[in-house]
Every structure is written in C-alpha cells, then in structure tokens.
Amino acid sequence: MDRVRVFIDMGAVREVCREPEARNTAQEYGDRIAEAARGFAAKDTGAGAASITAVVTDYGETVEADVSWDEAHHYMYFDEVGTYKMAAHPALGPALDEFAQ
C-alpha cells in the first residue's frame, strides 16, 4: 500500500480565511445545514426547529459557522442526544452528515 502525505500550509489557510468570501461561504453552508436540521428536528409546536440558525464568527485567522438552536430552545439538546427515558431524535448530526458526503 502506498503512503500518502498531506502538508497543509497554515499560512495559506489563514490568508484565505481573511478574504471576505470566506465569511460568505461559511454563512452559505451554515444556512444550508441549518435548513436541513430544521427538517430533521422533532416538531411539537415547531418553535424549537424554527430557532435553528447558523451564526458565523470571524476570528481573523479562521472563520466558523455554528449551527444550533437559540438559548430559549435549549431543550432541543435532549431531542438531539436523548435521555434515559427518551430515545434520541437527532437533527444537527444528520444535517451535517448530508453535507459531509
């Protein structure tokens, strides 16, 4: 079996992250994942699912899109991971899996 070596030029990564387009791309993909997660989310009233959004943070050298529900709908965590009384009904995991392929 051949060995593969991968070298990442972190200076180049930081340079790319400084470009305005990096933030736009993170927001675009974050929004797409949030939309998919809303589709997977358990819905009683639908308020928890509707609260799932993407928030992009620019750290200067990196850009991140955090996809989650808002603080008022923190109970969505229990749907995501389950409890000893309730099976998990994940939304974020399957949404991310759709884009990981």
What's the pLDDT tens digit per position in 15-56? 877 788 888 998 999 999 999 999 999 888 999 999 999 999
pLDDT above 70 coverage of the chain, percent: 97
In this predicted structure, the answer to whether residue 89 has a pLDDT above a threshold of 90 is yes
Q: Is the pLDDT of residue 58 over 90?
A: no
State the Cα–Cα distance between residues 15 and 84, nearest whole angstrom.
46
Say how far apart CA 11 and CA 19 lie, in whole Å: 13
pLDDT at position 1: 57
**What is the model's pLDDT at position 4?**
76
Specify the pLDDT at position 47: 94
Residues 6+ positions from 80 with CB-CB distance below 8 Å: 88, 89, 90, 91, 92, 93
What is the predicted pLDDT for the residue at 91? 95
| Sign of the alpha-carbon torsion through 20, 55, 63, 59 | positive
The reported pLDDT for the residue numbered 42 is: 86
Residue 2, pLDDT score? 67
Joined tokens for residue 35: 């939309």
